[in-house]
Amino acid sequence: MAPSAQRIRQVSFEGVSKRFGEQAAVRELNLEVAPGELFGLIGPNGAGKTTTIKMAVGLLRPTTGRILICGHDVVADGRESRRHLGYVPDNAAIYDRLTGSEMLQLAADLQGVSPERRRRRIPALLEGFDLTEAQGQMIMSYSRGMRQKLALCAALVHDPEVLFLDEPTVGLDPRGARQLKVMLRTLCDTGHTVFLSTHALEVAAALCDRVGIFSDGRLAACGTVAELVEEGRRDGPSAGGLEDAFMAVTGSPDQASADLLAALRS
C-alpha cells in the first residue's frame, strides 16, 4: 500500500468476523480509524470488544476478513504490523520477577529501540507515570495501578503509531487516570492513533473523537458522541447523554433492575 494511503487510515477492519466454535464473537466488522484519531469501543460484557482488539494486535486470528495496521495485514505481515503498534491488555500480566526498568528494557529490546532513544524515552516515561522511584523494585511488589502504568510505558517505549488499550483506566487512581487521559490526547494531537475499549462511558464521552457501540458481536452504532446522542434521541425518549444512547443501542436493563430489586426486597 502506498504511504499516502497509509496516512489516510491507520487501522482498518475489513469484513472481520471471529467465531469460537459455534459462537460468533465478532460479526462482519467494517471500521476505519484515521491518524490522530482517538477511537473508543464501548459495549456490554461479552460484546466482542476484547476479541476485536486481540485480533488487531495479532493474538487472535480473524475467521474471515482482514485487519490492516498502517497498511500491513496483521496475519500475512504480522511482524511488520506489530512494529507499528503498542498494546496494553485488560489487567495486564507482566513479568513479576523483573524490575520496572528491566521490563521496559525488555520491551525496548523486542521492539529494536536504539540505546540513544531508550536513554531519552524510558526515564521520561517513568517520570511521566510517577514510576521513577519504583523502577528498581521487582514488579511483584507493585500495586495494580502501578502495573497498569508500567504496561502502558512498555507499550509506548518504541513510540508506536497506533496504541491499542483494553480498559486502560481500570485500576488507575484518579491522578493516574488523569495522566493517562492527558497523555492519550497529546498522542493523538501529534498524529498517533489510539484505539481503546472501555466500560466508563464518561471516559469515552470526554476523550474519544469517535465512539463505536458494540452489541452481540456487531458494531451497532458508530460516530462522534454528538452523533450517537442524536441517534439515540431519534430512536426513543432520551435524556440526551451517551449513556442513553448506549442503552438505546444495547437494550435497557430496566426490567433486569426491577427483578433484582424485587429479589433483594424478598
Partner 1 sequence: MASLLNASRQSLWNAAWRRGRHRRLGTVTGGALGLLVWLATIPLLELPLGRALGAAPGHLLVTVTGALVLLTGFSLVTSVSFAVASAYFAKDIEWLLTVPVSPRGLLAHRFFSQLSLGAAVGVALLGPLLVAGALHTGTLRLLPLVALALVALLAAPVALGLLLVVVVVRVIPASRVRDGTAALVCLVGLSMAGIGITAHRVGGGLPGAGAVNPFGSGWLHSAWLPPSWAARAVTLAWRGDWLGSLGWIAALLALAVAAVSLVLWIGGPLHREGWARAQIAPRRRQRAAASWVRLPPILALLRKDGRTLRRDPVQLSQLLLPLALFAIYLLAPRSGGSQSLFLDFPPWYGPMTTSLFAALFVVSGLGLRAVGSEGRQFWCLRSAPLGLRDLLLGKLALPVVVAVGASLILMWSSELRAHVPLGQMGYSAALLALSVSGLAALATGLGAIWPRLDWTDPRRATGIWLSVLFLLFGSVYIGICMVALTVPLVTTQLGTLGSDLAAVLACALCAALAGAITLRLGYARLRRLEL
Point out which residues bind partner 1 (CB under 8 A): 54, 57-61, 79-80, 82-83, 85, 87, 89, 92-99, 101-102, 104-115, 118-119, 134-138, 141, 154
Shortest Å, Cβ 162 to partner 1: 12
Closest to partner 1 by CB, 31 or 88: 88
Closest to partner 1 by CB, 142 or 246: 142
Shortest Å, Cβ 213 to partner 1: 25
Bridge partners (DSSP) of residue 87 are 164
Shortest Å, Cβ 263 to partner 1: 20
b/e string for 52-82 if b means 16 or more Cβ within 10 A?
Answer: bbbbbbbebebeebebbbbbbbbeeeeeebb
Shortest Å, Cβ 136 to partner 1: 4
Closest to partner 1 by CB, 9 or 121: 121
From 48, 15, 57, 35, select the one nearest 213 (Cα to Cα). Answer: 48
- Quote the CA–CA distance of 215 and 245 in Å, as a whole number: 13
Q: In which residue are the cell numbers 529501540 written? A: 113
- Quote the CA–CA distance of 150 and 159 in Å, as a whole number: 15
Shortest Å, Cβ 14 to partner 1: 20
Edge-to-edge strands, sheet with 23-33: 23-33, 11-20, 64-69, 72-73
Closest to partner 1 by CB, 118 or 210: 118
Closest to partner 1 by CB, 61 or 175: 61
Nearby residues of 174 by Cβ (< 8 Å), 6 or more positions away:
none
- Quote the CA–CA distance of 246 and 255 in Å, as a whole number: 16
Closest to partner 1 by CB, 63 or 179: 63
Closest to partner 1 by CB, 53 or 213: 53
Shortest Å, Cβ 151 to partner 1: 9
From 127, 135, 126, 52, select the one nearest 90 (Cα to Cα). Answer: 52
Residues in the chain: 266
Edge-to-edge strands, sheet with 162-166: 85-88, 162-166, 193-197, 38-42, 210-215, 218-223
